Amino acid sequence: MKYTVLGTGAVGGYYGARLQKSGLDVDFLARSDYSVIKERGLRIDSCQGDFVLDRVNVYSSAEELPPTDVILVSLKTTANDKLAELLRPVVKKGTVILILQNGLGMEEEVSDLFPEAVVLGGMCFICSQKKGDGYIVHLDKGSISAAPLREEDRDLLMKIQDDFQKAGVEMTLLDDLKTARWNKLLWNIPYNGLSVVLDADTAQIMKSPHGYNLAKTLMEEVIRGGEACGCSFPEGSVDTMLEYTRIMTPYEPSMKLDFDRGRRMELEYMYRRPLKAAAERGVSLPHIAMLADQLAFREEKN
């Protein structure tokens, strides 16, 4: 299958480069670093081995993108107001759209916009950062958990899983997309937000008993919210996630990098929507709500 990457950053650039390195046909949409990638290609410094793609099919406009089979959406959700405009030139009947974003509710929105497409969700467990134009550093992890929005599309997802596995990316298929999204929020809600309000990376949060307790409390609220929405979590999920983070390479989550660079943070999909979903079922999540308000305040003052 042919792939197109919307958002050649820390996530899309890394996975797209892996797919191209394995021999697949991949197109990339890039904006600010289009000219650099066009001239020099993509450089990936990875804990699994560094490599450079000297020649990359990169485009600066969605209208110029060739036909494709699978679109990887790896833009920040802060750009989702432009997503329909970017997808419209390349989505045809049967086009697969794999959403590689953080938060809740993106797949349903895209499906409403493009009912003729096949919409899948992917939860990326990766520590990677864009360090410069056409330059991505992969620090740790890298697996993807994925599920279809509609169960009848699982066979297509299995074909994509095979492509990713051949590219050296572990992809696990899950039964239920909503549950998978809430399970990813178990990490995203505490560590993205705390990294900003505490001005700390993951290692600093975990080494402090106060940071550790804050992360644990937020995780427990994520589980309460997810269960109210009909989702389940493996037994011991909080302890497993805390240990997962404790042993990972020290990492500044994407939200902290966005804040430090004066960019908008992904508050809507990562915080407001989960809070709303739980509230609609009569469950309040006060610690998550407070963290969301603290982040909104810091964004206003930034």
The residue behind tokens 């080494």 is 207
State how far the Cα of 254 lies from the Cα of 188, in Å rounded to an integer: 10
Catalytic residue among 76, 130, 178, 184: 184
- The contacts of residue 23 (CB under 8 Å, 6+ apart) are none
- Clarify whether 82 is annotated catalytic: no
**Both structure tokens of 35:** 């000219």
- β-strand partners of 46: 138
Active site residues: 184
